[in-house]
Amino acid sequence: MCTGKCAKFIGVSLYPLAVAAIICNILLFFPAWDTKYVLEDNKGGNKTITEEVKYMGGLVGGGIMVLIPAIHIHATGKQGCCANRCGMFLSIAFAAVGVVGSLYSLVVASLGLVNGPTCLFEDSEKQLTWGTPFMSNKEFGNDSYLFDPNSWNKCKQPENVVEFNVILFSILLVLGILETLLCAFQMINGLFGCLCGTCGKKGRQA
């Protein structure tokens, strides 16, 4: 596969990944499919939305910072002004931005999984309070809440918030890994395209 076709394939592949990351991040603002938690959080009352959701790793990092490079990378693989050595050189810089964005999304998703969700739970004094009950254990060991579904009922509200966060943050984690790999590969592909040019139906283009 020539560098131009490879860039086109990578660009097209990044589109659905970036859109999926944006959707996942937006959904995380509405645990239990309810708007009341984000509204209450925005009013300055109880912190009812998981802190890692507000970092917008999927929206900004895995979404916008990947979607914009994907547009240029896709264009680099087409016949036209971008399908040349200069376009390939620029694609390296755009792909680097994509790597940074996807890594940011990956890190935020990892933190979201390790720290657990913000929810209403019983503290040590048997008082209902909003907080992060699983944050004391920050390792992916056997003692992690992730491997102990029986502990998920600690969260009283929002309903099923642990499952909700685990599923969406896990998706963001996988999306971040895929985006990082694709953008990193485009950096290598762009380097070859910059040095050797792209190729098309009429042979290689300078």
**4 band by pLDDT with thresholds 50, 70 and 90:** confident
Q: What is the pLDDT of residues 55-86, one digit of tens each?
A: 999 999 999 999 999 999 988 877 554 557 77
* Beta-bridge mates of residue 205: 198
Ranges of each domain in the chain: 3-205
CA–CA separation, 101 and 109 (whole Å)? 12
**In contact, 179 and 66? CB cutoff 8 Å:** yes
Main-chain phi, psi angles of 79, to 5 degrees = -70, 125
Percent over 70 (pLDDT), the chain: 88
State yes or no: pLDDT of 98 exceeds 50. Answer: yes
What is the pLDDT at residue 175? 97
SS3 state of residue 54: helix
Per residue in 6-15, pLDDT (tens digit) is: 888 999 999 9
Rg (C-alpha) for the chain, rounded Å, is 21
